[in-house]
Amino acid sequence: MNVMSICNPVVLLHGRISSHLQMSKPADYLSHLGWHIYSLSFEPSTVELGLEHWARQI
């Protein structure tokens, strides 16, 4: 069986004070390997509203 045909989805999450744009290179690479990529941007990108707020956005 081809390994690429059984790849699970990958969720890429950026760090504080950044966005999904910083995940474009790893996303492109993993996508090229056959992974299904979901790259999210949190609003706001700082944790001023708490991690629970970010968790609800996922």
Supply the mean pLDDT for the chain.
76
- Look at residue 1 in the predicted model and tell me its pLDDT: 43
- Look at residue 58 in the predicted model and tell me its pLDDT: 76
At a CB cut-off of 8 Å and minimum separation 6, what does 47 contact?
16, 54
At a CB cut-off of 8 Å and minimum separation 6, what does 3 contact?
34
pLDDT tens digits for range 41-55: 777 666 677 778 777
- Look at residue 17 in the predicted model and tell me its pLDDT: 66
Q: Percent of the chain scored above 70 by pLDDT?
A: 71
End-to-end Cα separation, the chain, in angstroms: 32
CB 34 within 8 A of CB 46: no
**Rounded CA Rg of the chain:** 14
